[in-house]
Structure 1
Amino acid sequence: MSSMSASEIARLQVCLRRLLGSPELTVNAPPRAGLSVEVAVKGEVVGTIHRDEDEGEVSYALHMTILEEDLPAETATARPRR
């Protein structure tokens, strides 16, 4: 895992805000080296971003955690169709 520059973090924030349609999303640098870059919405951390570099190609992986308790209550209309 490679560390990210301030420029990469800022560019990721712009990209994710646009892709996910959330202007309240922030991408935050880790408080100290070796920790993950965090993604937050309204100050609540919802995931992490990891940078990978392989043969000169750079990619970013977003890992997002959604707790079951944060999901809306199940209703008949919310069930997936089979």
Structure 2
Amino acid sequence: MKAEELKKLEAYFKKTLNPEISVKARPRKDDSAEVYLGDEFLGVIYKDDEDGDLSYNFSMAILDVDL
């Protein structure tokens, strides 16, 4: 993803979820980014540009040991 997309996504997550969230580019991947809360990895945002309709999908795994 481009730097401007990462900034927009980070601003959205900060506004809607938590001001401590950060969105970082993934090495060797241009269709997704990683989401962190401080140093804690939360999940991955995938860019979906099918048929000209741009959207982003956030995927977060929750381990049983974390519950």
TM-score, scaled to structure 1: 0.73
Determine if the alignment matches structure 1 residue 8 to structure 2 residue 30. no
Greater shift after overlay, 25-34 or 48-57? 25-34
5+ residue gaps, structure 2, are: none
Given that residues 32 and 47 in structure 2 are in contact (C-alpha distance below 8 angstroms), is that contact kept between their aligned partners in structure 1? no
Within 1, Cα distance between the matches of 2:65 and 2:14? Answer: 25
Look up the match of 1:65. Answer: 61
Over 3 Å counting, the alpha-carbon distance change for 1:63 and 1:57 in structure 2 is same
5+ residue gaps, structure 1, are: 72-82
Within 2, Cα distance between the matches of 1:42 and 1:50? Answer: 20
C-alpha root-mean-square deviation of aligned residues, in Å?
A: 1.5
More strand by share: 2
Residue identity over aligned pairs, in percent, reads 39
